Structure 1
């Protein structure tokens, strides 16, 4: 009997993103339209609309600053496998929260004089349902609805998921995120020897792929002093994040993740972000630097963007190449380690491309977000959330640190282990 192969990572793409605040009727109508458009079927669409009605009704009755996110999700589990389309609903509020979630899920439980069957009904109807709630902080609920009978993919949480929200008054969002897997070709060679190298500034011409992918082991730079950051932030430190030349992908299935913030906001910023996503998905490069070069070329003629691209390896290594004001951090229940980025505008001017390597602890996550979120959050803010699906973590961070003065996006990834 051969060795057991790890299960393929499940990734999702999101589209038709719509936010609703105090608009229960509009949310129900949008849910019905989405269900019909992707072919959920009449009965399944009716169940989706019922869940949206319950969530939006609860937000109106109990929540403070409640919002409802509706979007189409398309799940990919393996190359060549059929894509599964469903609808995801996320409810976020800053209300009183729930002290006893199991009790709230029991039929007949009510705090407002109603029958109290809403949450229990949603749990039964949805293919997946998650609640995170803290008294005095608020509640986040996530439900996904797939066509029935749902494929096994529908019951597996994605390894990566993100949330985008446009600036107040805009329909289109200039922030975006994307993820894809990458596996080494069968003929890939292992690292052979060490060589200390220094990266030169990125050239506007096509890079030398042989130089970028030569079989060299990364070498640690000389020690650098610790950098003091905001409270709760573990900054770059020697031996934890090291700049490496031509960082080599591992042998297993790596996970590439991108966070992009198109300059400004509105349709032109959204166009730049869409170009970046398309280039990321079709890029031939395997390392963050290689993919960044391809995204850079694709954004010429657009407003440009701030972009961070990470690669998560099965052994816990995280390789990151960042240009512009995208925050990237490794988060555990007790520590936040902020990863390095460099100034520039992807699509216009990049003075240098440099990859930084760090190690993601078991149970930790990679978080990347745009400057539509404040930096004033710490590991403690996410400590009780890290076991939840990435979308719930992203929603909690958006609630905690998001502003409405700019487009905002958060993407959360777990290692490809």
Structure 2
């Protein structure tokens, strides 16, 4: 068993004025240098991030950007740009060099596509655009892009009370998401403790892992917890949840919910249960805290389930996320 990804403090930067462009470029360059990128590779990162940030500043509505180590591959740099702007009717046309839906100059999306080691765009007219891209040094391996998770604290809170972790054994990935009760440091402590307990017991059945977390959180304020084991080879999900964690199997034709029992991990619970589900081909397994509304419709995002997990997670965080609570969303594309 290996730890694939775990939550890290996601620092979302608003792209509202020109000063943000330079700040975002410097952040990306510094991270690339820490990751051992050479001058040429670092230059690719700088140009692509500058262009994406410039487009957000000039033309987006509520544009934000996230720059971090890639969650699946620490040696790679991941960038996510999200906006609520006018969106694009024809993304393939926008990717042609010299074309821009907003009349921008510079390299545009076509140049960003050439500079990035990998990228995907999802855009819906009237709702906005999500651009996900990643960079690796020349000759380095690429991330598999099977799983991604995003967190966002309530308001201006410096810590997020939600946390997640993903482990991998063979073709199976096991995800744990904890929404610490309330928000702030005490909620974050409960979620960190849930991550620690999960990593100690992750090789057990999901319902057993949940039982261990429930018992171990008794000295914290507790929270909602869910554990899902996604077996790509078998095409199944084994799921156990306690409290208000939403879990879904989403595909192009709709979504299927997975069942959690009522309660608060660490304090009160009915009999915990594990449920088994079939995962259709070309599906995405999604877990999110109640910092996201359940009232999203996957069929209103044509093609979204085929995009990078970071783009799927970012789109839902943008449109279903609420500023009245901490938020966390994890997207998993099962592997064979």
Normalising by structure 1, we get a TM-score of 0.73
**In the alignment, which of 111, 118, 143 is matched to residue 121 of structure 1?**
111
Are residues 261 and 284 of structure 1, via their aligned partners in 2, closer, same or farther at CA, if it must alter by over 3 Å?
closer
**Cα pair 2:7 2:151 within 8 Å, conserved:** no
Match of 1:68 in 2: 65
Superposed CA offset, 1:194-223 (max 9, x none): xxxxxxxxxxxxxxxxxxxxxxxxxxxxxx
Residue 409 of structure 1: how far off its partner (Å): 1.1
> 2:222 maps to which residue?
304
Distance verdict in 2 for CA 1:266–1:286, change over 3 Å: same
Residue 85 (structure 1) aligns with? 75
Aligned to 1:156: 144
Bigger Rg over Cα? 1
Once residues 159 and 75 of structure 2 are traced to their aligned partners in structure 1, the CA distance between those partners, rounded to angstroms, is 22
Question: How far apart in 1 are the matches of 2:199 and 2:39?
Answer: 33
- Alpha-carbon contact 1:72-1:88 (below 8 Å) kept: yes
Name 1:335's counterpart in structure 2: 254
Contact kept? 2:87, 2:129, Cα under 8 Å: yes
Structure 2: give runs of 5+ residues left out of the alignment.
none
User: 1:191 — aligned with what?
Assistant: none
In structure 2, what is the equivalent of residue 56 of structure 1?
53
Query: Which residue of 1 is the match for residue 173 of structure 2?
Result: 255
> Residue 219 of structure 2: SS of its match in structure 1?
coil
Cα distance, 1:114 vs structure 2: 4.1
Aligned counterparts of 1:123 and 1:393: Cα–Cα separation in 2 = 18
1:144 aligns to 2:123 (yes or no): no
Give yes or no for contact 2:51–2:106 (8 Å, CA) kept in 1: no
| SS of the residue 1:85 aligns to | coil
CA distance in 2, matches of 1:269, 1:110: 44
Task: State how many pairs are aligned.
Answer: 331
SS of 1:132's partner is: strand
Q: Give per-residue Cα distances to partners, 1:88-133, cap 9 Å, x unaligned.
A: 1101111111222222222222345543413222211211111111
Q: Answer whether contact 1:176 1:409 (CA < 8 A) is retained.
A: yes
Task: Say which of 168, 176, 192 aligns to 2:163.
Answer: 176
Instruction: Deviation per CA, 1:342-398: give whole Å up to 9, x if none.
Output: 122223333321101121222222111111111111232344211111111111111
State the distance in 1 between where 2:194 and 2:277 align.
25
Structure 1 position 12, deviation (Å):
4.3
- Structure showing the higher helix proportion among its residues: 2
- Residue 165 of structure 1: aligned partner: 152
Report the CA distance shift for 1:330/1:382 in structure 2 as closer, same or farther (over 3 A). farther
Deviation at 1:403, TM superposition (A): 0.8
The alpha-carbon distance between structure 1 residues 41 and 349, as it changes in their structure 2 partners (threshold 3 A), is farther
1:134 is aligned to 124
Q: Compute the displacement of 1:10 (Å).
A: 11
Distance in structure 2 (CA, Å) of the matches to 1:132 and 1:254:
27
Specify which of 4, 11, 18 is matched with residue 11 of structure 2.
18
The aligned residue for residue 234 of structure 1 is none
* Equivalent-residue separation in structure 2 for 1:356 and 1:129 (angstroms): 35
1:20 is paired with a residue whose SS is strand
Q: CA RMSD in A?
A: 2.4
Please list, as runs of the form range in 1=range in 2, the aligned pairs for 1:331-370 lying within 5 A after superposition: 331-370=250-289
| Offset from partner CA, 1:163-212 (integer Å, 9 cap, x none) | 111111112111122211235xxxxxxxxxxxxxxxxxxxxxxxxxxxxx
Q: Structure 1: any 5+ residue segments left out of the alignment? A: 1-8, 77-83, 184-252
For residue 328 of structure 2, what is the aligned residue in structure 1?
409
TM-score, structure 2 normalization: 0.90
